[in-house]
Amino acid sequence: MHDIVRPTPMGAGLEAVRGFLGTERGGVPSRNNLCWPGKEVSLWGLSLDHRDLVYHGAELVLVAEFFRRRLIKINQERPFAESQHALRSTRTSHLPLPGYSSFRMLSLLEPYSDPIIATLRSLLPKKREDWQLVGVVNRDKDVYSFGTDSKIIGRAFEIVAAVYIEKLAAALGYSFHESTNQTTYPDFYLTKPDGRRIGIDVKSTYRSLNGVGQVRSFKFTLGSFTSYLRNDTKNIEGQYSDYDSHYVLAFLYTRITDYKPMKKSIHEIDEIPPTYDDVEVVFQEKFRIGGDKTGSGNTDNLATIQSNTAEPFIYGASPFSVLGKEVFDHYWSNHPRNADPDGVKKSLYKNLPAYFDWLSRQESAQFDHIELRKKYEDYKDWVRVQGWKISLN
């Protein structure tokens, strides 16, 4: 399999620009030090001269980001060496550069991380084999393979995750706790020295392919929106107000369907083929991957955004990342329940545009519907520039 250039934070583009400018020009992009005849810069193997640059420093970073993303796209479609040659041999004057508004949109939302996310990501296994669980073992050292049942695989991920979440707690100086009830939120929580909590839920789903072998859009279910979001103590360890933040550790995998049950000794474990592969791990704040749709048509579970790639989840690319956590909580604490009468459902909303309409009808709305609508339209433009397929209204 050929190498693929993976996305990096936009700050990497800024570092490239600073390296290009050098100390003689202060190392800080500005209108005055980005344009002069004959000067060239190489960004990701692509030679640019002054005619190719946008003359404001922040915009140059976005131009660099555009070319970096173009390289990623080409690398995904061609062998690595061929794609490098293809990009280098294309003059920038022939590239379909987006307009100024598109460059502006690229800066709307940065990839999100924090010390909790960064620490757990550093602790999680990096090797493919570490996530390939193949069965259960008894004390006679017999291994019974498990199949493709998503509940079993999901529980297996949760068992492995517990070890690393406990390490996360130790690394941060927090205490580690597992929920005392399997149906109570969250699966795990960390307690800070001041008593405040951090909730961590573990979720999983598998990829499915369409008729031409492309990954269909997928989402994760994030639990009920009729419990602790509306009643501070319902179906939650402690109280919702006890928690400073909420995270989701999510696993995306591909099922291997030609499974046959088998029993092997522990010494023959290599003979047991895995029933899933290609695991991608997402660890992100809950609201930053939260969507505006329910998990399914007849449940009161909220769902994440829906996409055909894990990148928006890793990035934290929910519309609520732009609108804010308070809007996320308000949206889902007022969303109609499945059992509500039709009249109640029609008076409320089932997506963000309808939510903005609903806010506009409130006498003393908690949020400015005009401001939120503008942010949401900017977000949709930003998704378009990113090139992601996120289901939006």
Dihedral (CA of 315, 321, 325, 328) sign: negative
Share of the chain above pLDDT 90, in %: 56
Considering the domain boundaries, does residue 184 fall inside one?
A: yes
Burial of residue 34, with CB atoms counted within 10 A of its CB: 0-12 exposed, 13-18 middle, 19 or more buried: buried
44 and 139 fall within a common domain: no
156 and 262 fall within a common domain: yes
Considering the domain boundaries, does residue 276 fall inside one?
A: yes
Residue tagged 């800066």 (tokens): 107
Residues 80-126 have pLDDT tens digits of: 444 444 444 444 444 444 444 555 555 688 899 999 999 999 999 98
133 and 78 fall within a common domain: no
pLDDT at 170: 98
pLDDT at 95: 42
Residue 24's nearest CA partner among 10, 42, 39, 14 is: 39
Read off the tokens for 5: 């250039």
Q: Could you give the dihedral angle defined by the CA atoms of residues 93, 95, 101 and 102, in that order, rounded to the nearest 10 degrees? A: -150
**Residue 355 CB partners (closer than 8 Å, separation 6+):** 292, 331, 349
Q: What are phi and psi of 56, to 5 degrees?
A: -95, 140
Residue 35 has pLDDT above 80, yes or no: no
State which of 11-15, 70-74, 239-243 shows the largest mean pLDDT. 239-243
Parent domain of 88: 11-106
What's the rounded mean pLDDT across residues 235-264?
93
Q: Which residue has the higher pLDDT, 309 or 13?
A: 309
Question: How many Cα atoms sit within 13 Å of 124 on the Cβ side?
Answer: 22
Considering the domain boundaries, does residue 50 fall inside one?
A: yes
State which of 25-34, 80-89, 97-106, 374-383 shows the largest mean pLDDT. 374-383
Considering the domain boundaries, does residue 85 fall inside one?
A: yes
State which of 17-26, 69-78, 182-191 shows the largest mean pLDDT. 182-191
320 and 218 fall within a common domain: yes
pTM: 0.75
141 and 239 fall within a common domain: yes
Share of the chain above pLDDT 70, in %: 72
Considering the domain boundaries, does residue 214 fall inside one?
A: yes
190 and 168 fall within a common domain: yes
pLDDT at 127: 86
pLDDT at 190: 98
154 and 287 fall within a common domain: yes
Q: How many domains does the chain have?
A: 2
Q: Using N-to-C axis directions, what is the helix angle for 325-334 and 352-360, rounded to 10°?
A: 80
What's the rounded mean pLDDT across residues 181-203?
95
pLDDT at 49: 43
Residues 327-342 have pLDDT tens digits of: 999 999 999 999 999 9
Domain endpoint, select from 69, 86, 106: 106
- Banded model confidence at residue 348, pLDDT cuts 50, 70, 90: very high
The domain that holds 304 is classified in CATH as: 3.40.600.10
* Chain CA centroid to CA 184, Å: 24
pLDDT at 148: 85
Domain endpoint, select from 106, 124, 155: 106
164 and 244 fall within a common domain: yes
Beta pairing, strands 188-191 & 197-206: antiparallel
Q: What letters, b where the CB count within 10 A reaches 16 and e where it falls short, cover 157-196?
A: bbebbbebbbbbbeebebebbebeeeeebbbbbbbeeeee
pLDDT at 385: 83
Residue 1 has pLDDT above 50, yes or no: no
Read off the tokens for 39: 């000067």
User: Mean pLDDT in the chain?
Assistant: 79
Considering the domain boundaries, does residue 82 fall inside one?
A: yes
Residue 197's nearest CA partner among 124, 247, 123, 251 is: 247
Domain endpoint, select from 78, 106, 134: 106
55 and 149 fall within a common domain: no
86 and 137 fall within a common domain: no
Question: How many Cα atoms sit within 13 Å of 382 on the Cβ side?
Answer: 21
131 and 30 fall within a common domain: no
- Banded model confidence at residue 281, pLDDT cuts 50, 70, 90: very high
What is the C-alpha to C-alpha distance for residues 76 and 43, in angstroms, rounded to an integer?
19
57 and 133 fall within a common domain: no
Residues 131-140 have pLDDT tens digits of: 888 899 999 9
pLDDT at 105: 57
Considering the domain boundaries, does residue 1 fall inside one?
A: no
Residue tagged 């991608």 (tokens): 280
Considering the domain boundaries, does residue 2 fall inside one?
A: no
Q: Which residue has the higher pLDDT, 312 or 10?
A: 312
Residue 65 has pLDDT above 60, yes or no: no
